[in-house]
Amino acid sequence: MSKRKGHKDFVTVVSSIDAGALLEVIDSHKQDDIIEVLKQQPIEIREKVEEVSIDMWGGFPKVVKEVFPNAKIVIDRFHA
């Protein structure tokens, strides 16, 4: 089966810039899948997240608002 030009299989990478650590690789780029995986962390941890850097994919703001209620959203420098 051929894929459309420019279509790729995506994963979602979650890392801590402060710790310089890879936290999670989610084998999906779908909102519901990402939310499900990230919500496995206790809300007490998720509420401490202050900032989330994302690319310009339209689904990420919803994910951030639902999973990290206190975080500011920042567009990463490679996509600004």
Higher pLDDT, 39 or 59: 39
Q: What is the rounded CA–CA span in Å between residue 11 and residue 50? A: 23
| CB contact at 8 A, 52 and 68 | yes
Residues constituting the chain: 80
The pLDDT tens digits for 42-71 are: 999 999 999 998 887 788 899 999 999 999
Give the model's pLDDT for residue 18. Answer: 87
pTM over the 0.75 mark: yes
Give the model's pLDDT for residue 5. Answer: 55
Give the model's pLDDT for residue 1. Answer: 43
